[in-house]
């Protein structure tokens, strides 16, 4: 059964000071079941950063291993590690408190992740996950995993309705119906009205 993992917040505290003359500029990298899925923007001069997030990832049934790396953004040279941690996610969600370790981790530095895990029936549908290349073995990998490039997303393809297949037309119509539906029967509360209001109407 397909599921959706949603990350709603990430933070850390007591990170190492990687630069002698200034505080660190940390960012985080996430890896799910061995695949790098996200890299955040750095926060300047902060040893206890936090990021509000709304990151959703489709995942297959089974165990979910989440790995987190904190990294200091270096303007002139190679970025410096600030520590890594990993955890197994189970249940419907919560807040995972993690002890950072590995290269660059300061004594007592920690991180946290707020997350939710829902089945396809509990969440709105998400785009079908694109096939990815097989994960490299440890012997094939070079350098830390958090330095790997993120996988590229497939390009968005626009089509006229008349050029769509019958299945695509039905999926499009269902999406429009869902977007136009009012929440709890309240007029003007649909996603359509919310998006339209950004552009001055209706």
Q: Which two tokens stand for residue 51?
A: 């990021």
Q: CA quadruple 54, 55, 59, 64: dihedral positive or negative?
A: negative
Q: pLDDT-derived band of residue 50, with 50, 70 and 90 as boundaries?
A: very high
Tokens of 3: 């599921």
Q: How confident is the model at residue 159 (pLDDT cuts 50, 70, 90)?
A: low
* Residues 122-134, mean pLDDT to the nearest whole number: 48
Whose tokens are 């500029």? That residue is 25
Using alpha carbons, list the distances in angstroms from residue 109 to 12, 105, 176: 7, 7, 47
pLDDT, one tens digit per residue, over 63-113 is 889 999 999 998 878 899 999 999 998 888 899 999 999 999 999 999 999
Where does the pLDDT of residue 191 fall: very low under 50, low under 70, confident under 90, or very high at 90 and above? low
Confidence of residue 131 (pLDDT cuts 50, 70, 90): very low
| Whether this model's pTM surpasses 0.85 | no
| Least confidently predicted of 80-84, 86-90, 133-137, 158-162 | 133-137
> pLDDT digits over 16-49, tens only?
988 777 889 999 999 999 899 999 999 999 999 9
């Amino acid at each position: 059964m397909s599921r959706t993992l949603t990350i709603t917040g990430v933070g850390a505290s007591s990170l190492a000071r990687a630069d002698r003359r200034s505080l660190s500029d940390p960012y985080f990298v996430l890896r799910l079941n061995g695949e790098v899925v996200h890299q955040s923007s750095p926060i300047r001069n902060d040893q206890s950063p936090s990021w509000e997030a709304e990151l959703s990832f489709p995942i297959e049934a089974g165990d979910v291993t989440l790995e987190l790396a904190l990294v200091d953004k270096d303007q002139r040279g190679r970025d410096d590690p600030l520590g890594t941690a990993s955890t197994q996610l189970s249940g419907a969600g919560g807040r995972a408190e993690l002890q950072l370790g590995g290269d660059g981790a300061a004594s007592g530095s920690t991180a946290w992740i707020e997350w939710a895990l829902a089945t396809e029936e509990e969440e709105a549908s998400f785009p079908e996950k694109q096939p990815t290349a097989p994960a490299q073995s440890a012997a094939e990998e070079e350098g830390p995993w958090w330095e790997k490039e993120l996988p590229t997303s497939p390009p968005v393809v626009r089509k006229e309705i008349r050029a769509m297949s019958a299945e695509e037309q039905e999926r499009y119509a269902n999406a429009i119906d869902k977007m136009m539906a009012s929440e709890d029967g309240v007029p003007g509360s649909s996603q359509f009205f919310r998006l339209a209001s950004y552009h001055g109407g209706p």
